[in-house]
Amino acid sequence: MAVKVTINNNGPIRIEGDPSDFSIHDAQGAAFGLAGRSVISLCRCGLSANKPFCDGSHARQGFQSVCEARELPPPKPKA
């Protein structure tokens, strides 16, 4: 199964797939231990006490953000 990333309305970014097909790293490049999970939710609201992972704070605080799919423009040529 290909990795699937879903931007949930008013909620987290959900990543689903074979745990060997994706990893999450901090700014220094160290990998988070995901304990074999095939589904991970990443915080979008900034309120989670367990960043970068979602802890449900968005629901308790009334976070709202709707993202509809769209086409991105082609990348600009590199100079």
**Predicted confidence (pLDDT) per residue in 33-75, tens digit:** 999 999 999 999 999 999 999 999 999 999 999 999 999 999 9
Domain 1-68 is of which CATH architecture? Answer: 3-Layer(aba) Sandwich (3.40)
pLDDT band at 79 (very low <50, low <70, confident <90, very high): confident
| pTM of the full structure | 0.88
pLDDT at 1 over 90: no
Partner residues linked to 4 by β-bridges = 16
End-to-end CA distance of the chain: 37
Mean pLDDT, the chain, whole residue set: 95
Task: Show me where the domains of the chain are located.
Answer: 1-68
The tokens for 54 are 């979602």
pLDDT at 29 over 90: yes
